[in-house]
Amino acid sequence: MPAPRKFTHRQLRAAALELIDQEGLAGLTMRALATRLGTGPMTIYNYVDGREGLERLVTSAVMAQARWSDAPSGDWRTRVEVIAEAIWRAVRAHPNAIPLILTARSLDEDALVPTEALVQALADSGRSGADLLAAFRVVSGFIAGFAQAELTGPLVSAAGRGAETITARMADLPAERFPGLVEMARAATGDPRAEFRSGLRIILAGLDAPAPRPG
């Protein structure tokens, strides 16, 4: 009879996410996870398949945190907005994990629930097959990309300076050389949610347009 398992999958996920939140991507190791759980590294190998397994734990933990209230079932656009924002909130709450969200994939069923909900909302627009896949990639790419832009875009903090300072300095750039950047800095609201919703509505407007005919 096999020995009872010492840790649940949820315990491993939670510990891995706490680890990357506190120590960053470089701190996500088998040894560090074992220490956090109060066990030896070899024990963790009974649960996790090396580095890739660690990364999947983190992506699963992040995606499983996406929560939303039910949107009107007949309005696919509203449903996409609600679900996409829930995923974005979960992702941006763990900035150290964003590189893994962009590159690692998990088949953990809890983590796939928000993804399936987003796919179904997009399918209600009448898309299927390759068109549905393209729509999903556009929306999911926007979610992850927007979260990443908050960390690495031209309006974020750098060298310890706050985002407001960076934005103010960009607004003071020579307008004749950088008219677009100046306009963007002056329009920055400081409200990431408002900017996310505005960008997502641009995406949805494109998805609402008639699909181009092949050829």
pLDDT tens profile 33-54:
999 999 998 999 888 888 889 9
pLDDT at 212 over 90: no
SS3 of residue 33 by DSSP: helix
Q: Residue 197 pLDDT more than 80?
A: yes
Q: Is pLDDT at 12 greater than 50 in this prediction?
A: yes
Answer yes or no: pTM beyond 0.85: no
What is the per-residue pLDDT for 3? Answer: 45
Nearest to 145 by CA among 102, 106, 114: 102
Distances, alpha carbon 177 to alpha carbons 164, 181, 182, in Å? 22, 9, 9
Q: Provide φ and ψ at 158, rounded to 5°.
A: -150, 145
Number of residues that this document lists for the chain:
215
Predicted pLDDT at 199: 92
In the chain, which residue ranges form alpha helices assigned H by DSSP? 9-23, 30-37, 41-44, 50-63, 76-92, 98-103, 109-123, 129-152, 163-171, 179-187, 192-208
pLDDT for 55-70, tens place per residue? 999 999 999 999 998 7
Q: Specify the 3-state DSSP secondary structure of 14.
A: helix
Please state, in angstroms and rounded to a whole number, the distance separating the CA atoms of residues 37 and 18. Answer: 11
pLDDT at 74: 72
Identity of residue 76: W
User: Percentage of residues in the chain with pLDDT exceeding 70?
Assistant: 86
Give the model's pLDDT for residue 189: 64
Residue 89 vs residue 109, higher pLDDT = 89
Q: What is the pLDDT of residues 125-176, one digit of tens each?
A: 999 999 999 999 999 999 988 988 876 555 454 444 456 677 778 788 888 8
1 pLDDT more than 50: no
